[in-house]
């Protein structure tokens, strides 16, 4: 099959969806499909994808939308039609990108079936933010685009439950995100991170947050929990890895200063590659006190590295994380986070057991070959090819 993906901005610092698109497109290429990734920003697309290859997907970069509001101009739309024409199926990622409406419209004009990944954008929490603007977007074309999709891809049953009311005549299909586990098979060990980050050499237990610095991620709750742990006499280092708006980073730094936590809560910036895997391994506990995640790549990355975690029911995949044996699920409350973290940090044997269980679960239940086959089947069904053999 000829499969075309569209995602507006390929920057890993923007979070898990970018990782998901990269891993999925590469997996579909390995299955023998002709795969093209169309984007307006190819910053973190592998260099090998920039020219035709029998081994890798092809990345086709088009200029950023020229019309205010994120829409492509008439001349640019001809390029979109060119990118879509001849595809067996097109896969669009994310809802609140105006250009996605134009991609979907181009598909309908050309008679090309398309799949639309929601990426958590229609979850209850997400729809509670800028509600009027989002309802208007849906009314002016978003709902129609979703309902004309062959499938609306959700990564968890809870995402499908929350989102389907916004495209009631559409079809939701649940498949976990495909996570390339190759880098996790042989991990680099904690040494790289300990050498890079002095707090990991303090001898104290360590807690890691790794995600975008965004208010929905609950970072203030983690800072408050660090204060509560200190009050309990729990000596722990908290490393906050990620990037975001400078103003929000300064706000977080101010919270840390006001609580006098500079000696134990550290903003360490964006981390990737082998250093990121090493950082997971060097940390005793991963904490993501988020308000909303549809999948939560970083959570499954942590488990794949053998790092147990604490997160909230704001993650649509929380039942899976809990079932893995490597995750503890709590309310989005600083007291609950501290209450759960304190005994874990004091029980290294329990932490090690949780880490082993979580890692084993990921390799069994998120096997890329099995997940890739499910995407392959969805694409075949979308293109009218019937069940895959």
Q: pTM value?
A: 0.91
Residues above pLDDT 70, as percent of the chain: 99
CATH number assigned to the domain covering 2-181+367-382: 3.40.50.2000
Question: Which is nearest to 267 in space by CA: 315, 219, 306, 308?
Answer: 219
Q: How confident is the model at residue 332 (pLDDT cuts 50, 70, 90)?
A: very high
Q: Which residues contact 6 (CB under 8 A, 6 or more apart)?
A: 37, 38, 39, 83, 90, 91, 92, 93, 99, 100, 103
Q: Are 319 and 150 contacting, i.e. CB atoms less than 8 angstroms apart? A: no
Q: How confident is the model at residue 385 (pLDDT cuts 50, 70, 90)?
A: low
Residue 4 bridge partners (DSSP): 36, 90
- pLDDT tens string 231-273: 999 999 999 999 999 999 999 999 999 999 999 999 999 999 9
Mean pLDDT across 51-55: 92
Q: Are 222 and 287 contacting, i.e. CB atoms less than 8 angstroms apart? A: yes
Q: Give the integer Cα–Cα distance in Å for 200 and 223.
A: 18
The DSSP secondary-structure symbol of 138 reads: I
Q: Give the integer Cα–Cα distance in Å for 335 and 351.
A: 20
Residue ranges matching CATH 3.40.50.2000 in the chain: 2-181+367-382, 182-365
Q: Give the integer Cα–Cα distance in Å for 77 and 72.
A: 6
CATH number assigned to the domain covering 182-365: 3.40.50.2000
């Amino acid at each position: 099959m000829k499969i075309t993906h569209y995602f507006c901005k390929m920057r890993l610092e923007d979070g898990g969806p970018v990782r998901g698109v990269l891993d999925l497109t590469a997996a579909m290429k390995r299955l023998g499909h002709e795969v093209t990734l169309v984007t307006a920003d190819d910053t973190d697309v592998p260099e090998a994808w920039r020219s035709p290859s029998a081994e890798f997907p092809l990345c086709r970069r088009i200029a950023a939308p020229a019309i205010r509001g994120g829409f492509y101009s008439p001349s640019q739309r001809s390029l979109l039609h060119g990118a879509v024409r001849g595809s067996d199926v097109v896969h669009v990622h994310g809802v609140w990108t105006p250009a996605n409406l134009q991609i979907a419209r181009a598909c309908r004009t050309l008679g090309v079936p398309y799949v639309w990944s929601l990426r958590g954008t229609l979850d209850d929490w997400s729809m509670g933010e800028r509600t009027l603007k989002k309802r208007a977007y849906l009314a002016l074309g978003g709902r129609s685009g979703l309902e004309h999709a062959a499938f609306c891809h959700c990564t968890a049953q809870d995402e499908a439950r929350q989102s389907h009311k916004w495209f009631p005549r559409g079809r939701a299909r649940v498949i976990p995100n495909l996570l390339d586990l190759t880098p996790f098979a042989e991990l680099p060990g904690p040494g790289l991170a300990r050498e890079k980050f002095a707090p990991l050499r303090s001898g104290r237990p360590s807690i890691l947050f790794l995600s975008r610095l965004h208010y929905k991620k609950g970072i203030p709750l983690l800072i408050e929990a660090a204060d509560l742990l200190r009050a309990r006499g729990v000596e722990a280092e908290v490393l906050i890895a990620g990037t975001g708006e400078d103003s929000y980073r300064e706000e977080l730094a101010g919270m840390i200063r006001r609580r006098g936590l500079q000696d134990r809560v550290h903003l360490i910036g964006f981390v990737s590659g082998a250093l990121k895997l090493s950082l997971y391994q060097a940390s005793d506990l991963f904490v993501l006190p988020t308000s909303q995640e549809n999948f939560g790549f970083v959570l499954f990355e942590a488990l794949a590295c053998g790092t147990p975690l604490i997160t909230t029911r704001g993650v649509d995949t929380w039942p899976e994380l809990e079932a893995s044996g490597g995750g503890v699920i709590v309310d989005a409350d600083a007291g609950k986070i501290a209450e759960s973290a304190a005994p874990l940090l004091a029980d290294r044997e329990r932490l090690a057991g949780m880490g082993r269980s979580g890692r084993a679960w990921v390799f069994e239940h998120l096997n890329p070959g099995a997940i890739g086959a499910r995407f392959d089947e969805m694409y075949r069904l979308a293109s009218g090819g019937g069940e895959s053999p």
